[in-house]
Structure 1
Amino acid sequence: MSCGAVVPAAGRGQRLGGRDKALVPLAGRPALAWVLEALDRSGVIDTVVVVTNQANCAAVEALCSSLGLTVPVRIVLGGAERALSVRAGVEALEPNRRFVLVHDAARPLVTPELIRRAVEAVQRHGAVVAAVPVVDTIKQVALDGRVVTTPDRASLVAAQTPQVFRLDWLHEAYRRVGTGLAAATDEAVLLERAGFPVYVFPGDPENLKVTTPLDVTLAEFLLERRRRG
C-alpha cells in the first residue's frame, strides 16, 4: 500500500473576509498545521503535496518547515479553481503511488483515525468519500423559491474530505472529463462522471469545513477542547 496526500490550500476565503482559510489561526495554530500533523500521525501517508497560491507560498513553506514532520512535504502552486489546484497536486505526486488522499486545508479537525479509516476503505472499494448523515430536512426549490420536492433524508449524506482514490482511476477521470474539470466541486464528482463507482465511509460530525466566521469560532472551541482533553 502506497498512499500520497494532496492538501488544497489555495482558496481565498471570500466568506471569511478574504482571510486565507489555510492560514487562519485556530487555537493558536494555522488551520493547515492541524491538517498536516494529522496526516503525519496517521501512519498511512508516505508523502504530502500542499497546493497553495503565490501570495501565501512563502508562509506555507515556513510553516511546513517549522512543524518537524516525518512525512516529506512538497509545495506547489494551484490553479484558479479548486479542481485545477488538486490536479496540480496530483501531478506532483510520484507516479508509483497506488492511492491518493485529498483533504481540504479548511477542515482542520480531521483526525489520524479518520485518515486511517479512509485508507482502509479505499483498499476495498477503489474510490471513497467521508460522509455523515444529513440531519436537516432538505428542500429542493425552484428559482422563485417554490418547493419542488422534499427528498427522503434517509438516503442523503453530506460529503466531507478526506476522499481517497486509486491514482490510476483519478488520472483516467481527468482524461474523460476533459474541459469540464474546472466546474467539479470535488474529485468524487469527477469519478462519478467518468463512470467509476464511488462509496462512502463514516465521516466525523466534528470534521467541519471552516468557511464562515461562525465556523472559525466553533473550530477553535473544538480544537481547544481536544487539546485540553
Structure 2
Amino acid sequence: MRRAGARGTAVRRRDRDPVRGGVRDDPARRRVRAGDRTGQLRGLRGHTRGHQETGGHRNPQGLAFDRDGRLWEAESGDSSKDELDLIQPGRNYGRPICEGSCSTAGMTDPKKIWKVSEASPSGIAVVRDVIHMAALRDERLWRVPIDGENLGTPAAYYVGSYGRLRTVTAVPGRDELWLSTTNCDIHGKEPPGADKLFRVSIT
C-alpha cells in the first residue's frame, strides 16, 4: 500500500504474515516505512538518517503527517481495541503480543484507544493540528486534537448520519476535507450508487 503524505512524502505499508507482525527481526512482520516519491527513505521528525521502519502492526489504515512532520496512523484492531498511533522509527507497536495498551517491555503504547464497536477506523487527515478519523463500524467522524506528541479528547461528528465512513482527505491549500462513504459493500448492504462524497469546511 502506498499513501501520499505531506511535502512530497509517500508512506508504504509492507504486508506480511499478520500473526508474526510483532517479531522485530522476522522478515514476515508487518511494517510501516516512510520514503519520498522516488522511494528514497525520508527522515521522520527528529530522525534524518538510518532505517525508517516500525513493526508490530496488524492493519494500518489511515496515515497522515501533521504540520511538524510527525506521522500518525489509525490502526484497526483484531477483536477488542482500535488505535491512533504516533509512528516513530524503530518502534514496535505490539502485534501480536498486545492490542491497545501494553505492559510488555519494548512495546509502544497507542496515543488513543477505542473499542472496536466505537471506531473500526479507516482514513485519517490532519487539518489545523487536528486528526480527523473516519469510522466504519461506528459510522462517524472522530475529531482528535494534536498536543505535541500527545492527543486531546476525541469528539464525534455525523454519528449515524451517513453510514460507514471510509476515506477522509485534506483538501490542498484549504481548511477543508473530502469525506466519502462505503455503504455499497457486503457490510453496508446499500444498492449500487448509494455512496456519497462530501466536502466539509473546517471552521
Higher helix share: 1
Higher RCO (CA < 8 A, seq sep 6+): 1
1 or 2, which has the higher strand percentage? 2
**TM-score using structure 2 length:** 0.28
Larger radius of gyration: 1
TM-score by length of 1: 0.26
